[in-house]
Amino acid sequence: MRNLPSQSPVSSISERLRRAPAGAGLTQLFESLRPDLLRFAQWLARDRSIAEDIVQEALLRAWRSRDALKDPAAARAWLLTIVRREHARLYERKRLELVCLDDAVDIADNAASAATDPGLLALRYGIMKLPIEYREPLVMQVLGGFSTEEIARELELTATAVLTRLFRARRKLRDLCAAGPAAEAAPREEPA
């Protein structure tokens, strides 16, 4: 990588186009802007390897739609916008893995046997004792981080119905956890 003059930390597009050999055109322009794009992507992602991937994808997108660039003087802003959008797409694609609630019962049984906090143990078993119509929205909101609208959409309910079920689930859970100690909720081991 060449060093830029000390008076100008970032050279202008017209200066880069003047220095580019005739016929090199857009390829040379994209390549000359790559360090700027990489710095911007690294600032966004805070990770060098992710930034390199973002710039690579952004340049690929830019190359595919190179006909959309009418004015080469606007290339830097255009490419920076593509980098910013590519960074956003990276997190759009990242989806949390969902677990079936029936499988969560098995996981909760194993986790509860290792837990030492009796209050936490009672809470876990209380959640599993809730009827499914109350347990499902509660788990989606508290553990999954879903909003009321998202829960309503997933469960094909109205937002009001979801809020009602969440209220009733919390009330039932409070009653279940206050009713008895964790020892009653825990599975009992048979003597050998």
> In this structure, is residue 8 part of a structural domain?
no
> In this structure, is residue 106 part of a structural domain?
yes
Number of continuous H segments (helices) and E segments (strands) in the chain: 10, 0
> In this structure, is residue 190 part of a structural domain?
no
Query: pTM (2 decimals)?
Result: 0.41
CATH number at residue 77: 1.10.1740
Residue 102 falls in which region: left (phi positive, over 0), alpha (psi -120 to 50) or beta: alpha
> In this structure, is residue 28 part of a structural domain?
yes
> In this structure, is residue 7 part of a structural domain?
no
90, pLDDT greater than 60: yes
- Rounded (5°) CA angle 67-48-73: 30
Number of compact structural domains in the chain: 2
Q: Convert the pLDDT of each residue in 122-132 to its tens digit.
A: 888 888 888 98
Domain residue limits at 154: 101-185
> In this structure, is residue 5 part of a structural domain?
no
Q: For residues 90 and 78, which has the higher predicted lDDT (pLDDT)?
A: 78
Matching residue, tokens 């809020």 = 163
Q: Convert the pLDDT of each residue in 131-182 to its tens digit.
A: 988 988 988 888 878 889 988 988 889 999 999 999 999 999 888 887 655 4
Q: Convert the pLDDT of each residue in 10-42 to its tens digit.
A: 555 556 555 555 435 788 888 999 999 999 999
Residues 127, 160, single domain; the answer is: yes
110, pLDDT greater than 60: no
Instruction: Give the chain's length.
Output: 192
